Amino acid sequence: MSTLHPHWHALPEPDGVPPSAGVRRTAERVPVRPPGFSRRPAAVAGILVTLGIGYVFFSGMRGLTGQVAADAGASPVRIAITSSGVNPRQATVRPGQSIIWTNTQSLPHILQATDLKDSSGNALYTRAIFPGSEEQFTVSPSQPAGTYSYASITAQDVTGEIVVTGSAAISASTPSAPAVTGGLGGVDDVVIPRGGPSRGGRTAGDTSARDIPDAVAPAADPYSTDPAPSQEALIPRNPYTVDSTRARASSKQEPGAPAPPRPFRQPSTGPELWLVLLMSAAGSALVWRRMMHR
């Protein structure tokens, strides 16, 4: 029996095949999850969608205004409110056409008419037309032909006329006022028309009837020959302005009135606000960086 030294070295066999030191095998790696995709396009798309929704929500709907379709091919009629009145004083429109008033004075005006109506059946009553601004009114498509007067309720010298020409879609006919019959079946001598008297006053046919004030007519007649008051007196003014030296009527506390609220501290933009802003900016930048590197 032969003994081998622990550090023996095997020689090649007679057939020339060297001894094998073993086959090295490497473990095959199985991917646990598929390779991830970049989230940067999704983040950018989400940010753009959010910004677009915010823009449409806050300012995107301002330019979308509803408007009744005017007469085909008819452009709006423009009327300027100047220091000498409206120009032109008489404008001609068709049913369904728009009118635009532009105020070039230094005082606001509110225009009113009792018979000129829009498509909803509302009579002309504009908002306050401030200096340099415009106001649009669309005549009703069923407005009967005729001449309609309007005036400013803030200045009696600002008056004008709108002449509606052409046939309306729906003709509005006013039935004649029937006479009031007496209790015995005869006709009385006094004929009382429906509604109030005309703006001009009594006529030859209703001299015996009582004058009934018209609730729709304005308080002052715009066609009166009386001198109009100053326009400055018609606009309310605030006497307690920033540079005013006028003192208030009384500064004492009224009996039974609640005490005015007293703030705990004065509003300020000190280090607390700047600290919150910086922390918010840093947090937003960190979140953005993590989203971009994924």
Residue 18: strand pairing partners? none
Q: Put residue 195 in one of left, alpha, beta given phi > 0 → left and psi -120 to 50 → alpha.
A: left
Q: Report the candidate in 217, 89, 90, 233 with the shortest Cα–Cα distance to residue 155.
A: 233
Q: In this predicted structure, what is the pLDDT of residue 223?
A: 61
Does the pTM exceed 0.75?
Answer: no
19 with 10: CB under 8 angstroms? yes
CATH architecture of 77-164: Sandwich (2.60)
Three-state secondary structure call for residue 227: coil
Question: Strands, DSSP E only, in 94-157?
Answer: 98-103, 111-117, 123-125, 134-138, 146-152
R_g of the chain computed on alpha carbons: 44
pLDDT of the residue at 28: 72
Q: What is the pLDDT of residue 69?
A: 46
Closest to 148 measured CA to CA, from 175, 115, 189, 180 = 115
Bridge partners (DSSP) of residue 232 are none
What would the pLDDT profile of 173-197 be if each residue is shown by its tens digit? 444 444 444 444 444 444 444 544 4
Domain parsing of the chain, residue ranges: 77-164
What's the pLDDT tens digit per position in 25-83? 666 776 666 566 667 777 888 888 888 887 777 665 555 555 444 444 578 899 999 88
Low-confidence stretches of the chain (pLDDT < 70) are 1-27, 30-38, 58-73, 167-234, 239-254, 263-270, 294
**Are 138 and 119 a contacting pair, CB within 8 Å?**
yes
Contacts of 275 (CB under 8 A, 6+ apart): none
Least Cα distance to 105 among 162, 157, 163, 160 occurs for 157
Q: Which two tokens stand for residue 176?
A: 């004649």
Structure tokens at 100: 């635009």
| Strand, coil or helix: 91 | strand
Asked if 164 and 146 count as a contact pair (C-beta separation under 8 A), the reply is: yes
Position 148 scores a pLDDT of: 92
Q: Are 180 and 192 in contact (CB under 8 A)?
A: yes
Can you state the percent helix, strand and coil of the chain, rounding each to 5?
15, 15, 65
